[in-house]
Structure 1
Amino acid sequence: MRLAELSERSGVSAATIKYYLREGLLSPGERITATQADYDASHLRRLKLVRALIQVGRVPVAAAKEVLAALEDDALDHHTRLGVAVEALPNAPEPSPDDPHARAARASVDALIEELGWQYGGSDPAGSSGAYRTLLTAVTALARLGYPCGPEELAPYAAAAAQLAVTDLDLVERGRTPAEQVEAAVALTVLYEPVLLSLRRLAQAQESARRFVRP
């Protein structure tokens, strides 16, 4: 397909596609003439991923390049490539260790993770330190405001997350090749998070009505 068709099918403007080509986010097409190139389904798939990273996930171009480089690094195993890609997504900075609320949050989070037997950060070859930092930041805010955030309160959320992880990876494994699977994992991480948040709010509304609205 030519650039115009690639733009139409991907929903990405021709100018943006040219920018992605210049930045190395998209591989060049097969040269037909001095001014024209032909693109295939792999370009369309990659464009969808780049769009998910940059336009939806707000990942900087430099970080997006790291993700794409990891996807193409055959020296990395499937799990590690997935971890490198997801780790590049925006995460919150780690709270100050001098903050007493942050120390309480870390104790709660570490106790929960130990109880679950999960690995993260340096103990996980794929890396998950970004998600760990974001979790610490969120639980620190809960602790600072005096809301319950101990391991017993966090455990039901962890259980729901574990089940969602199974659903996520079931979707990912529909990809025909390892490259497609890792690409799908990154895209779905970005695109399904607002779906998850919206469904949670809808479910809260239903449960609130069930509990508090009189017949």
Structure 2
Amino acid sequence: MKTTITLVVSTFISFSSLAQSELKNTIGLSGGFTLFGTGDIKGYNFTPKYERQLTKRIAFQSQLSFANAQRYNSVNDLALVTNPYTISYLQSSSKKLNTGLLVGIYKRKSHFWGISASAGIVISSQFRYGGYMINPDKNPPVGLEYIPNPPYFQRYLSLGFGAGIEYRYTISKHFKLGLEAAYQEYHLDTEARINFGVYYSL
């Protein structure tokens, strides 16, 4: 009986130690600043993330990102003496589901640096209202040298590819703080983001 109890206790301790030493799964939540296109459309993003450690240096990574940005041009930005249509509004947004790998390139004590590469599905949209274009008539009436752009909305479903560099700082056995700079390219647009995040390993 004593032998059985000893065996059960030893097995429990062994599994407990193993579970505590191998924290292979990480969930994270990050958010920050987003730039669309050439960087003239500025906004924000929100990115939940899941990671599964495959080897000591390589982790599988999956993330779902939501980004939204706007640009507003006022009369002062585009003012032309004979053009009344100088106010415009442009909005870009995206929803991305990416999977890829995070590869550790430096790890020392509480500090970790890694690079990531991923691919996935992107739903992107753009809405524009206002702005102007030159009247296509060769001899337009006075005051109609410029005419307003018609509003438009477009949406695309496409494949996207991304890359980034990540930094993690360990504050306890389970919790980490992170900083990420990433870039993504997809149909007719690009995104760059800088995120701050919190990560929990289990």
Question: What is the TM-score when the length of structure 2 is the normalising length?
Answer: 0.21
Give the structure with higher Rg (CA).
2
The structure that is strand-richer by fraction is: 2
Question: What is the TM-score when the length of structure 1 is the normalising length?
Answer: 0.21
The structure that is helix-richer by fraction is: 1
